[in-house]
Structure 1
């Protein structure tokens, strides 16, 4: 599974009906749309998939549908999170549903020292046969020494970073000697792609793949072939403006993705509270950003 996580990583949204329940037929269509962009893997019910608002039953249903529809085309990894006992429940459920691995989100509101985080992941890894990816972000920031301990735990296979401290990542990469797979998990990860590549982290999660897959694929292809002109054009016209818009409102890392789908006639429904749907003025701005991104693709390589 880890050998497949070397490329563009997709994070589907979780579609909801206006009445609030899961929209599983729309989820099936959404997965098919994402697979057309040839991601290296799909991470279901994670941050972009609104894990924090899902019940265990809903989480299990999403994984069941994802595993059946993807049908082995790419690995399907599941989100898990919360305190250790809750994370264990979601991890065991994901394993029963047929997931290939689990991304364990930080235990929000429970801030412990690095040794507590290591024990959190140790217990989760011991309870499953799935590969476990730790997630460094917010309330779960590791020291290089604690990541060395993680690397010694059977079943812990990777570290996804959404913290963005490049110096810390370099220290982690140096002391672990490449024993853990490292993933760029920053919000709007494309804006960090070059910086992370400089310390040996090439694979990244792309929220853009969920709502503008052609743009996400074009950027990643340019990144892989070293086409700086195309990367800079997409950063200038799409990714940096998108990042600036995301910073205006808490929760827009998810809400903008769903708004982007709706703008293009592929609605996945509303976000769940405490997130809020995108305001009309920001929705109009997002539409312009998407249009500019596609215009870069239409223009093709710089002459």
Structure 2
């Protein structure tokens, strides 16, 4: 257990350093036009993303369409990410569904060399706090890897529940997707010293400054998957207190992106993939039940992407 705890401490340290130095990258999973997995396309875009300075990489999560991967595909995605990271960045793989299936994915990620796991919200049912805690307890008992728990959708912890899961030796952090700052402040105050928190709202940059006011400055960036120039410029503006640049990027790119995203359910992933394709990234289409953007929405996305890249002096 001492060795495991030392490993967890090292992962926490690496994640904290990474979160302070760059956005958290969630790579898209590449598919061929027929819907089959494209490992080499995925490898190419992970390698490209690594070169743009993220703080950590999270394969097979929501943006990576974890929900559409079988276990063999999942193994490939995590293995490729670990190989491309080469120990330079922490690799945090997504796991999910019910706890028994989550443990199966956790073991695959562990064998593939992941550093930690992001526990995605469980499948379908609403559950009481006791059930949410037990879900995490079962997963924690089934893996040696450190866990970051994602509260979003039907998962929302109270301060008492957070204290219970944070007391588990391998639970090291919480990703929040609810954007309820009152609840989040209560959770940060209830957590033990050193517990990690980060902003996992859709298009997290929109709320990054608000999250920072309750002690949660780190955030995930879907935009990094297709426009790292924009993602890094916004991160630098926040870090440096450059409100003028941050507000220009929010007003002229991020807010219009959210408005476009809200037109169709699932566009939080579909638009990101479409934007990546516009920039020549080998990501392919989304898998059902998601759908690719309409021609009209794709034209609006291309115009918005051009505007955003012009703001930071980059080319489409």
User: Normalised by the shorter chain, which TM-score bucket?
Assistant: over 0.9
Match of 1:4 in 2: 14
| Inter-CA distance 244–284: structure 2 relative to 1 (3 Å threshold) | same
Contact 2:60/2:66 (8 A) holds in 1? yes
CA drift of 1:179 comes to: 4.6
- Map 1:1-303; keep pairs closer than 5 Å: 1-5=11-15, 6=19, 7-298=22-313
Which string of whole-angstrom CA distances, capped at 9 and with x for unpartnered residues, describes residues 195-231 of structure 1?
A: 0000110110000000011100111011111110110
Per the normalisation by structure 1, the TM-score is 0.96
For residues 193 and 220 of structure 2, the distance between their equivalents in structure 1, rounded to whole angstroms, comes to 19
Which segments of 5 or more consecutive residues in structure 2 lack a partner in the other structure? 1-10
For residues 36 and 26 of structure 1, the distance between their equivalents in structure 2, rounded to whole angstroms, comes to 16
Runs (4 or more) in structure 1 with deviation over 6 Å come to: none
CA drift of 1:42 comes to: 0.3
Which string of whole-angstrom CA distances, capped at 9 and with x for unpartnered residues, describes residues 248-277 of structure 1?
A: 110001001110011112241110000000
For residues 266 and 154 of structure 1, the distance between their equivalents in structure 2, rounded to whole angstroms, comes to 39
For residues 171 and 96 of structure 1, the distance between their equivalents in structure 2, rounded to whole angstroms, comes to 36
Per the normalisation by structure 2, the TM-score is 0.92
Which string of whole-angstrom CA distances, capped at 9 and with x for unpartnered residues, describes residues 66-93 of structure 1?
A: 1112111101110000001110100111
For residues 177 and 125 of structure 1, the distance between their equivalents in structure 2, rounded to whole angstroms, comes to 18
Greater Cα offset, 31-40 or 177-186: 177-186
For residues 188 and 178 of structure 1, the distance between their equivalents in structure 2, rounded to whole angstroms, comes to 28
Greater Cα offset, 74-83 or 5-14: 5-14
CA drift of 1:108 comes to: 2.3
For residues 236 and 291 of structure 1, the distance between their equivalents in structure 2, rounded to whole angstroms, comes to 15
Contact 1:258/1:267 (8 A) holds in 2? no
CA drift of 1:177 comes to: 4.8
Which segments of 5 or more consecutive residues in structure 1 lack a partner in the other structure? none
Contact 2:42/2:282 (8 A) holds in 1? no
Greater Cα offset, 254-263 or 108-117: 108-117
Contact 2:97/2:120 (8 A) holds in 1? yes
What secondary structure does 2:312 align onto? Answer: helix
For residues 142 and 44 of structure 1, the distance between their equivalents in structure 2, rounded to whole angstroms, comes to 24
For residues 292 and 193 of structure 1, the distance between their equivalents in structure 2, rounded to whole angstroms, comes to 21
What secondary structure does 2:189 align onto? Answer: helix
Which string of whole-angstrom CA distances, capped at 9 and with x for unpartnered residues, describes residues 10-66 of structure 1?
A: 000000001111111111110111112110100000000000000011101111111
Contact 2:166/2:192 (8 A) holds in 1? no
Q: How many pairs align?
A: 299
